[in-house]
């Protein structure tokens, strides 16, 4: 019973490097999202998707790209990492069309940009 799987768990990047954070879910959820967690600021929405081929920006999208080619996968790309992107990143999924639906979260990726 995998749920939402994120890889890697930890990553250190140099400023200017690019990388992709992977997220996969096996619950056939249409809605997937990426959040970043910073001390004292809760979780802030970066990007989200309501289905394959459909993505949209959240509260803090700058510096990040996403795509959704399949229902299962929703990778987050950092094009040119900056120290301000040091954070813990969480991927989540839930059913579409149900505002009361539970969101399932991955274990998180702790990213440090030096």
Number of helices followed by number of strands (H, E) in the chain: 0, 11
User: In angstroms, what is the minimal distance from the CB of 3 to other proteins?
Assistant: 9
User: In angstroms, what is the minimal distance from the CB of 79 to other proteins?
Assistant: 24
CB-nearer residue toward other proteins: 17 or 45 = 45
Sign of CA dihedral 2, 5, 42, 61: negative
Distance CA 26, CA 77 (A): 21
User: In angstroms, what is the minimal distance from the CB of 82 to other proteins?
Assistant: 23
CB-nearer residue toward other proteins: 64 or 106 = 106
Tell me which residues touch other proteins (CB under 8 A): 4, 29, 31, 33, 35, 40-45, 48, 50, 90, 92-103, 105-108
From the CB of residue 71, how many other CB atoms can be counted at a distance below 10 Å? 17
């Amino acid at each position: 019973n995998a749920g939402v799987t994120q890889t890697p768990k930890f990553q250190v990047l140099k400023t200017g490097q690019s990388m992709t954070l992977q997220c996969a879910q096996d619950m056939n959820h249409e809605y997937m999202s990426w959040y970043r967690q910073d001390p004292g600021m809760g979780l802030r929405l970066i990007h989200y998707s309501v289905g394959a081929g459909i993505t949209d920006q959240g509260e803090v999208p700058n510096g990040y790209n996403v795509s959704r080619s399949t229902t299962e996968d929703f990778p987050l790309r950092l094009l040119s990492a900056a120290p301000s992107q040091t954070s813990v990143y969480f991927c989540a999924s839930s059913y579409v069309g149900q505002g009361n639906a539970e969101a399932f979260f991955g274990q998180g990726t702790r990213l440090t940009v030096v």
